[in-house]
Amino acid sequence: MDIAQAIDQANAEAARRILAGQPVLTGIARARDAIPGMRDGLLLHAGPPITWERMSGPVRGAVVGALLYEGLARDPKHAEAMASRGEITFEPCHHHQAVGPMAGLISPSMPVYVVENRAFGNRAYAPLNEGYGKVLRYGAYDEEVLRRLRWMGETLAPILGEALERSGGYDMRTHVAQAILMGDEGHNRNRAGSCLFARLMAPYLVLVKARSEDLSAVFRFMADNDLMVLNPIMAACKAMLEPAHGIPRCTVVTTMARNGTDFGIRVSGLADRWFVGPSEIPKGLYFPGFTEADANPDVGDSTITETAGIGGFARAAAPAIVQFVGGTPKEALTGTLEMYEITVAENPAFGIPALDFRGTPTGIDIRKVVKTGILPRVNTGIAHRRPGIGQIGAGLVRPPIACFVKAVEALAALL
């Protein structure tokens, strides 16, 4: 068997493992009790490794908010001093089987979703989504943000967690398949999926013994948050991809993530090495009063959705998303078709109606990216470069080609 055949065989095995995944949302737990290696004094963040000195505004703001939430800092200045003096350890969510949107901050006391891949036994974790507006993941940390986070930990998490336990687990693969049929793409558009999640959880939520006011608040929060199910989807994608990591000679990408400064990828056959390049400013539509000059470079672990074959790779299923991220329905269709050129498989579970139910393009091959020059398409939110302002738009972005060139060169050195 020559090298090319060995690589193709390894890639076929990676695709088999991804497509065989059975991610199930089983419950909610405290990060320190669930996430491997989570400990006091540790904050997890989105993207590849980064130091406090190199963090962008939204990520720094989220660090401040997390330290205030944990009660470790008296005020924002104290939090910044703690971080700058090295009193806090920062590590990527991906190093702990977790993912987080935008800044991606997870602190020990925060509640996290627990998703189990029942085909392989591995688990993945993600924080609960705060909704829109002024939120921690965009770097906000005022009292309104902290009050919401406390409510999520004290009220939302226990009630929704008990409902999930009563349900016996929520099948995330079936959820994504159904949401795609309903016009979502699983990353920036989750309106149908969040409604579906609320509908299917309602019979179990009403059985939870809680104050009617608290139950009502939970229902209202779920109804108002079109991103409610994004974080479980991210954890499901992480759980599906993890078994495909670590296959010798495999050129399939198992991680794409951004920390607001760098865009990084990891490849199955290259252990846990990160290959990074500068994170770019997304091109898209801005809210009134904001322009590209206000934007932070792309940030967040939510590109795990594209890595798993949905999100920007499934835009053809969600033509309405162009009203949010820009472009046209035709461009959404051609964008998905382009992604088949750089992937090794199609996921039959995620059929796209506009393509005669062809499965979504799955398994990014670094060789194909470098050979064709076609870069993965990512749907993304746009954060203001200063902490605390929040989301200022949404758009499209692509990783820097340097990530893939470096990965191909590293693999070639091993063969």
The domain segmentation of the chain, as residue ranges, is 21-235, 245-414
pLDDT of amino acid 324 = 80
DSSP E strands, 100-151:
111-117, 123-127
Expressed in percent and rounded to 5, the helix, strand and coil fractions of the chain are 45, 20, 30
pLDDT of amino acid 327 = 85
| Alpha-carbon span 340 to 333, nearest angstrom | 12
Average the pLDDT over 86-94 and give the result: 99
- pTM for the whole structure: 0.98
| Alpha-carbon span 262 to 116, nearest angstrom | 29
CA–chain centroid gap for 337, Å, is 23
Whether 395 shows a pLDDT value over 90: the answer reads yes
pLDDT digits (tens, 9 = 90+) for 208-223: 999 999 999 999 999 9
Whether 362 shows a pLDDT value over 80: the answer reads yes
Residues 6 or more apart in contact with residue 127 via CB below 8 angstroms: 31, 100, 105, 106, 110, 111, 112, 113, 231
Output the average pLDDT for the chain: 97
Residues 6 or more apart in contact with residue 412 via CB below 8 angstroms: none
**Pick from 5, 314, 95, 274: which is nearest to 184 by CA?**
314
pLDDT digits (tens, 9 = 90+) for 5-55: 999 999 999 999 999 999 999 999 999 999 999 999 999 999 999 999 999
What are the residue ranges of helices labelled H in 21-113? 31-34, 57-69, 76-84
| Alpha-carbon span 314 to 291, nearest angstrom | 27
* Bridge-based pairing state of the strands 89-92 and 378-383: unpaired
Whether 326 shows a pLDDT value over 90: the answer reads no
| Alpha-carbon span 130 to 143, nearest angstrom | 14
Q: Give the CA distances from residue 348 to residues 9, 302, 309, 334, 353, in Å, rounded to whole numbers and listed in that order.
A: 20, 22, 11, 19, 12
| Alpha-carbon span 160 to 219, nearest angstrom | 10
Whether 1 shows a pLDDT value over 80: the answer reads no
| Alpha-carbon span 345 to 364, nearest angstrom | 9
Amino acid identity, position 383: A
pLDDT digits (tens, 9 = 90+) for 132-158: 888 999 999 999 999 999 999 999 999
| Domain 21-235 sits in CATH 3.90.1710.10 | yes
* Bridge-based pairing state of the strands 42-45 and 89-92: parallel
| Alpha-carbon span 221 to 183, nearest angstrom | 22
pLDDT of amino acid 278 = 98
CA–chain centroid gap for 411, Å, is 26
What does the block give as tokens for 232?
Answer: 């479980």
pLDDT of amino acid 133 = 83
Whether 325 shows a pLDDT value over 90: the answer reads no
By CB neighbour count within 10 A (0-12 exposed, 13-18 middle, 19+ buried), where does 21 fall? Answer: buried
Contact call for residues 187 and 324 (beta carbons, < 8 A): no
pLDDT digits (tens, 9 = 90+) for 252-285: 999 999 999 999 999 999 999 999 999 999 999 9
**Pick from 160, 236, 169, 228: which is nearest to 194 by CA?**
228
Q: What is the maximal distance between C-alpha atoms in the chain?
A: 66
* Bridge-based pairing state of the strands 111-117 and 89-92: unpaired
| Alpha-carbon span 13 to 17, nearest angstrom | 6
Domain spanning 245-414: which CATH class is it, in words?
Answer: alpha beta
pLDDT digits (tens, 9 = 90+) for 158-180: 999 999 999 999 999 999 999 99
Average the pLDDT over 333-346 and give the result: 98
* Sheet with 283-286, edge to edge strand ranges: 283-286, 391-397, 378-383
